[in-house]
Amino acid sequence: MGDLTEELSIPDNAQDLSKLLRSTSTKPHQIAEIVSKFDKLETYFPKKEIFVLDLLIDRLNNGNLDDFKTSEHTWIIFTRLLDAINDPISIKKLLKKLKTVPVMIRTFFLWPKDKLLTRSVSFIKAFFAINDYLIVNFSVEESFQLLEHAINGLGSCPTTDFALSYLQDACNLTHVDNITTTDNKIATCYCKHMLLPSLRYFAQTKNSASSNQSFIRLSHFMGKFLLQPRIDYMKLNKKFVQENASEITDDMAYYYFATFVTFLSKDNFAQLEVIFTILGAKKPSLECRFLNLLSESKKTVSQEFLEALLLEMLASTDESGVLSLIPIILKLDIEVAIKHIFRLLELIQLENLNDPLFSSHIWDLIIQSHANARELSDFFAKINEYCSRKGPDSYFLINHPAYVKSITKQLFTLSSLQWKNLLQALLDQVNHDSTNRVPLYLIRICLEGLSEGASRATLDEVKPILSQVFTLESFNNSLQWDLKYHIMEVYDDIVPAEELEKIDYVLSSNIFDTTSADVEELFFYCFKLREYISFDLSDAKEKFMRHFEILDEERKSNLSYSVVSKFATLVNNNFTREQISSLIDSLLLNSTNLSSLLKNDDIFEETNITYALINKLASSYHQTFALEALIQIPIQCINKNVRVALINNLTCESFCLDSATRECLLHLLSSPTFKSNIETNFYELCEKTIMSPEMAISETGDEKKEIEDKISIFEKVWTNHLSQAKEPVSEKFLESGYDIVKQSMSLSNGDSKLIIAGFTIAKFLKPDNKHRDIQGMAISYAVKILENYSENFESETIPLFRISMSTLYKIITTGQGDISKHKSRILDIFSKIMLRYHSKKVYHAPEEQEMFLVHSLLTENKLEYIFAEYLNIEHTDKCDSALGFCLEESLKQGPDAFNRLLWNSAKSFSTISQPCAEKFVRVFIIMSKRIARDNNLGHHLFVIALLEAYTYCDIEKFGYKSYLLLFNAIKEFLVSKPWLFSQYCIEMLLPFCLKTLAFIVNHESTDEINEGFINIIEVIDHMLLVHRFKFSNRHHLFNSVLCQILEIIAIHDGTLCANSADAVARLITNYCEPYNVSNAQNGQKNNLSSKISLIKQSIRKNVLVVLTKYIQLSITTQFSLNIKKSLQPGIHAIFDILSQNELNQLNAFLDTPGKQYFKALYLQYKKVGKWRED
């Protein structure tokens, strides 16, 4: 009832009490307090409930006492009194006094917004209670008035679900859904009361509009009450915009137009144009968004309207309007771009310097428009005309790589005949006027398109035409050399003998000097021609190098990359080492070019280039890019002396610790030299490659994990020597290492790096090795380190303490040592350490993890204890491995202890809490992976565990990550351990999946929702693919699941992405297309085919339910375009298996809107979804 400031004094006689209640100064909360004490009232007060109810009705009818309407106490008492009075006739008489409709409307209007935030809407419950006794009739205007106030309150609702409930309650009270016919009067009333509040709400919820059911409901009202054929909505729209122009914001105007786009058919483009013009006049900045909306909805306006808009934009002085609107106009109608190409090309040329991205975008759209209209050859004629007329300032359109790329990627649309006509026309133009570079640029574009993907037939047909290039007489145009080079790239045998004879003239003339602007094309021509015939390349090579040396650094780098990548063999065999070295120097200036070059394995066949490249990189070992490049070079290409020098340089102290250096060293040591410092001197190896304990544990996050997962440099060198232990150099090195670590571990305070070396060596000792005692020394030394830490707890001893425990674990689990004699000592040490931790209330996660690993090996036959300890430490992958090792050791003694632990885990699902849920699920997964096929009790316990998880877990106590882990594991087990899943288990998993989907979509963020949704759909998919036979007589279960999944997608359309819908489409497709049917008769083809046919026949009878659900949701909630497009393959798969009989049944079952949608859907299927032989 709320807190009262002071206790109300209640009279002890009926007269005074009634007087107090009737007093106009008595507040609602005071009346509520009196009513709450009726049961304790000693005063005789007959029919007191009727008296108070009559009093409240009087107060509510009083227009001057609005505080009664806005008080929760009023409505709580009102409802309570209706329940308390057992005389329906008296209640009806009293309620007839209430001015029900005005009171309801006024209450919705006055109800405080802050109470909506707390979901306090007690008055609605009271109104429904009134409806139980009286039929409350609202006129259309009264209904719209109440809904107006309800809609105004939606924005204050704390969640979209509560907003929908609030709106739906208002609709149910007014029975607005019973208004079946709409006329201009109703539409006018709608515009007066509901339209503006609806638009305000649309603007407020713009980020979640498509998934907001209140938004969809209000949009439906607009379509129902305004956008109907019998209504003059254009007149009403104009009047509404004029009267409310000052209140309509940009977002409101956008959603207003969006609703028109949604409800008006494609045939109403004239009306859309008028609405566009009206709203655009008031909100010019929205025209771009309006056009985008038309483009996304696949609805358009007339070409004339778009042309007028384009010309207006081109003439506009508002540059931002031009830049934003023009691309969208061109997307809406390709004819606009084709018709006004010259105006658009002028715009591109004008904006190229100011906004190159905009210019290239318009260029792309022009080309795409011509390609879609099959008029690409006409485009060449137009651009030829334009550039020839405008001159060099326009040449970037046909010369700049980005602009050229836009053309070449569309050239596949040309037919062979178009290719021939286009090239012949361009060559004729060149012969007519060789000074015009435009046709030469266009021919070069054509050549790039031919080399990228033209068919062999096309290449053969245009070959005679292209051969004409070699007959061009004007050698003063350097583009001819570029054309000839590109032609030779496309064809291997096109160069005529006359061209080969001209090479001496070319090399001896002054062409290289007179064409300096584009001389590189001439060099490429000469180099390419050298691959055809043998001639002295010295002059051309020298001239090339002179040209190369005068370039700036960037052009040098790009030219060196082009030459080395295109003419690697020629450069390798004809250029001097100094020239190759100069080219490589420039190439290394651009790491992107270097990376691209190294991706081509053929380059390593060129010894001179590879030699120069390796030497340059080796001399740049202090730079990361050089180390990364060296890793990409096959180790066989790197000379042994170079490897020795590199290893020595890289093991300098200042370089040895970064990841790039480690990677490079491991690459170099993959082919050992046995000559570098670290490979010949054990002290040097330890000093340069073993991190100090402090540095080893300072590695964090992904870097530390990456290092742990890979062999260390020390281990690599040591194992290299072990692989040839009998060779003198390795035997000497190994003996030296054994002696050094023994000596160090015999000391009480040995060198930490040597101790770590000893720990590592102990892992690689074989049983027959004469130095086997090092393992015992390593274990004893590790235990001594543990003991020292337990006594001193000094921070500087922590690093070696952790490394020691890690060593103990590795030695024991690899079976290389015996720890039994140290067992009790280690357990005492751990107890002492943990007691100290708890007494100081200090959290030592890394140390506890390492202790857990060792502890797991020492507590035999105490699986529950180990697993409980696991739940109390911070998780790492190593801890998972330790648990697995414990289980495997226990299973060697039999499954009893394992099954007991599995039973305890199964029953723990009912008590699990979120802080440890993720680790608990990991425990369950680790155990499930080790359930053997012959462990029948384990199978049963696995099913019990899943049932417990289904029964007791929800998102709050279980957590999203835990669900994701569990369902990932189930997905894996469905394939790897199908015998774990009984018929009961499979059928139980279906509602478990649906329950989890409902949790996730209502509680998680968008990214997590989509990830979880796809994961669970894949689980259902795996159930179907692997266990389809279990659904032979259970198609109704699967149909129900599919229908609910479609409903989830419809409700959460704006949250779920296209990938989620793709997953559902795959699931439906797999449902309709069985292919993994087992066959009892040795898989004979005819039996298998007949079995599949029987399954399809069974599915055909049941799958109509899914298609009906999709049609119903498409009509009522309207899937977004992306979702609908993604679901299409699944819907088409349903049509694939339906016979005409089922199609007729479905058509007879549907209502009129359903039949219309079904017809459109089936026509679309026949057009794009049905398989055809052509």
3-state secondary structure 909-976: CCCCCHHHHHHHHHHHHHHHCCCCCCCHHHHHHHHHHHHHHHHHCCHHHHCHHHHHHHHHHHHHHHHH
Confidence of residue 446 (pLDDT cuts 50, 70, 90): very high
Q: How many CA atoms lie within 13 A of 691 on its CB side?
A: 21
Contact 110, 66 (CB under 8 A): yes
Supply the pLDDT for residue 73: 83
d(CA 257, CA 906): 56
Encode pLDDT of 881-928 as tens digits: 888 888 888 888 889 999 999 999 898 888 887 778 888 899 899 999
Q: Which residue has the tokens 């199908």?
A: 978
What was the pLDDT predicted at 2?
Answer: 42
On the question of pLDDT at 1080 being above 60, the answer is no
Confidence bin at 511 (pLDDT 50/70/90): low
- What is the torsion angle, in degrees rounded to the nearest 10, for the CA atoms of residue 528, residue 530, residue 531 and residue 534? 170
pLDDT value at residue 1079: 42
Distance separating alpha carbons of residues 765 and 1083, to the nearest angstrom = 53
Highest-confidence segment of 259-263, 466-470, 929-933: 929-933
Q: What is the spatial distance between Cα 129 and Cα 56, in angstroms, rounded to a whole number?
A: 15
Confidence of residue 1157 (pLDDT cuts 50, 70, 90): confident
pLDDT band at 780 (very low <50, low <70, confident <90, very high): confident
**203-212, 435-444, 733-742, 855-864: which range is least confident on average?**
203-212
- The answer to whether the pTM exceeds 0.85 is no
Residue 876 burial by Cβ neighbours in a 10 Å radius (0-12, 13-18, 19+): middle
Q: How confident is the model at residue 709 (pLDDT cuts 50, 70, 90)?
A: very low
883: CB partners within 8 A, 6+ apart: 856, 866, 867, 870, 923, 926
Which helix (H) or strand (E) segment holds residue 898: the answer is helix 896-908
- Please give the average per-residue pLDDT across 694-700, as a whole number: 51
Neighbours of 961 (CB within 10 A): 14
Q: SS3 for 447?
A: helix
Least confident of 31-40, 179-188, 352-361, 418-427: 31-40
- Using the 8-state DSSP alphabet, how is residue 191 labeled? I
Which pLDDT tens digit goes with each residue over 195-242?
Answer: 999 999 888 876 555 557 788 888 888 888 888 878 888 888 888 888
Rg (CA), the chain: 41
Question: Structure tokens of 1071?
Answer: 């449902």
Q: What is the pLDDT of residues 963-1007, one digit of tens each?
A: 889 999 999 999 999 999 999 999 999 999 999 988 888 776 777
pLDDT attached to residue 700: 38
Task: Say which residue, 475 or 429, is predicted with more confidence.
Answer: 429
Give Cβ neighbours of residue 208 (< 8 Å, ≥ 6 apart).
160, 215, 1054, 1055
Average confidence (pLDDT) over 620-639: 93
Q: What is the pLDDT of residue 723?
A: 92
Which residues, 6+ apart, have CB-to-CB distance to 68 below 8 Å?
Answer: 28, 56, 59, 60, 62, 74
Digit-coded pLDDT (tens) for 575-590: 999 999 999 999 999 9
Q: How far, in Å, CA of 69 to CA of 1121, rounded?
A: 45
User: Tens of pLDDT along 87-104?
Assistant: 888 888 888 888 989 999
Q: Sorting pLDDT into bands at 50, 70 and 90, what band is 630?
A: very high
The predicted structure's pLDDT at residue 266: 60
- Give 1062's Cβ-side CA count (13 Å radius): 7
Neighbours of 277 (CB within 10 A): 12
Separation CA 1042–CA 1103 (nearest Å): 10
How many Cα neighbours within 13 Å face the side chain of 1075? 3
Residue range 333-345: average pLDDT? 89
User: What is the per-residue pLDDT for 322?
Assistant: 56
Residue type present at position 1129: P
* DSSP assigned state of 853: H
Q: What are phi and psi of 315, to 5 degrees?
A: -90, -10
Percent of the chain clearing pLDDT 70 (strictly above) = 87
Q: How far is CA 710 from the centre of its chain?
A: 30
Total length of the chain = 1174
What percent of the chain has pLDDT above 90?
A: 27
| Reported confidence tier of residue 655, pLDDT bands at 50, 70, 90 | very low
pLDDT at 1052: 81
Query: In the structure, what pLDDT confidence band is assigned to residue 133 with cuts at 50, 70 and 90?
Result: confident
The whole-chain average pLDDT of the chain stands at: 83
Q: Would you place residue 643 in the very low, low, confident or very high pLDDT band (cuts 50, 70, 90)?
A: very high
CB 959 within 8 A of CB 913: no
Using one digit for the tens of pLDDT, what is the confidence trace for 357-388?
A: 889 989 999 999 999 888 999 999 999 999 99
Q: Kindly state the DSSP code that residue 192 receives in the 8-state scheme.
A: I
Top mean pLDDT of 33-42, 72-81, 547-556, 807-816 is at 547-556
Residue 94 vs residue 611, higher pLDDT: 611
According to the per-residue pLDDT averaged within each range, which of 510-524, 694-708, 1098-1112 is highest? 1098-1112
Indicate whether 695 pLDDT > 80.
Answer: no
* pLDDT surpassing 80 at residue 291: no
The residue among 849 and 1143 whose pLDDT is bigger is 1143
Model confidence band, residue 842 (pLDDT cutoffs 50, 70, 90): low
Task: Say which DSSP state 748 is in.
Answer: T
pLDDT recorded at residue 302 = 76
Tokens of 762: 């102990």
pLDDT at 648: 92
Confidence of residue 1038 (pLDDT cuts 50, 70, 90): confident
C-alpha to C-alpha distance for 319 and 435, rounded to whole angstroms: 37
pLDDT value at residue 1092: 63
How confident is the model at residue 474, as a pLDDT? 56
Pick the more confident residue, 814 or 1049.
1049
So what's the pLDDT on residue 1081?
41
Residue 391 main-chain phi, psi, to 5 deg: 85, -165
Ranking 250-259, 260-269, 709-718, 881-890 by mean pLDDT, the lowest is 260-269
